[in-house]
Amino acid sequence: MPKILVIIPAYNEEKSILDVYESIHESSLDLDCIVINDASTDGTKAVCEKNHLLYIDLIHNLGIGGAVQTGYRYALENNYDIAIQFDGDGQHNVNYIEEIIKPIISKKADLVIGSRFIENNSEGFKSTKARRIGISIISTLIKIVTGKTITDPTSGFRACNKDVIKLFSETYPMEYPEPPSSVKLLKNGYVIKEVPAIMNERKLGVSSIKNWKSVYYMINVCLSILIESIKGKSKCHPTSE
């Protein structure tokens, strides 16, 4: 098995972080796991300390992008072959990790996304109707600028190989990073695949995207996608086999 790291960005997830962390370590797979505590104002850090979880404590809140990038830097510095993003709120299901890493191990993909919408899967939590409309708009825009279809572009359940770990450790969007980072990869010749994944509904904590922030989110993400598409190819390219 390759050396695999699960990156859990966490902001105010004191009620769920231990269960998430333990579910990963109880997996039949050989997985390392690190929590990136993004300057939480609740007891997230205390839970990590009390239960001896491996974690990095950020002094200032960097947002989801900064927290995840910290995890990628840790993965690069510690020579991991695969890194997996995994939410700290309990929405992602550890049982799908094996499927999400298979295309990377077989060298059929550089990044794999766990998708709620592929193969017309009717199970699991699909988010609200308004957000599903937003996801559809984002997916359509990515199709327009890259020619590739990503059914679940906002999914934070993703796995990547060493090449992408290195790239993301150097440059990663700070806000709502999944759609623009996917566009960057596609524009530079990386292969992205999706696999079906059933998500759980958040039971604890509060989503950072709500009310007027949903409008800001859509504008920001669409602009970020367009900017990445305009940049086109950069000096980053997948390693040739």
- pLDDT of 69 higher than 60: yes
CATH number at residue 192: 3.90.550.10
What tens digit of pLDDT does each residue of 73-111 get? 999 999 999 999 999 999 999 999 999 999 999 999 999
For residue 216, give the DSSP letter: H
In-domain check, residue 240: no
165-170 long-range contacts (CB < 8 A, ≥24 apart) are: 165/72, 165/75, 165/76, 165/80, 165/82, 165/83, 166/76, 167/236, 168/68, 168/69, 168/72, 168/83, 169/69, 169/72, 169/73, 169/75, 169/76
What tens digit of pLDDT does each residue of 28-55 get? 999 999 999 999 999 999 999 999 999 9
Position 162 scores a pLDDT of: 98
Q: Which of 35-49, 63-77, 198-212 is least confident?
A: 198-212
- Counting residues of the chain whose pLDDT is more than 90, the rounded percentage is 76
Position 212 scores a pLDDT of: 47
Buried b (16+ CB within 10 A) or exposed e, 101-119: bebbbeeebbbbbbbbbbe
- Over residues 165-185, the mean pLDDT reads 95
- Over residues 206-216, the mean pLDDT reads 59
In-domain check, residue 208: yes
- Counting residues of the chain whose pLDDT is more than 70, the rounded percentage is 87
In-domain check, residue 159: yes
* Residue 105 belongs to domain spanning: 4-231
Position 240 scores a pLDDT of: 43
In-domain check, residue 113: yes
More confident residue, 238 or 118: 118
As to burial, measured by CB atoms within 10 angstroms (0-12 exposed, 13-18 middle, 19+ buried), residue 235 is exposed
The number of domains in the chain is: 1
CA distance 145 to 147: 6
Per-residue pLDDT band at 203 (split at 50, 70, 90): low
- Over residues 187-192, the mean pLDDT reads 96
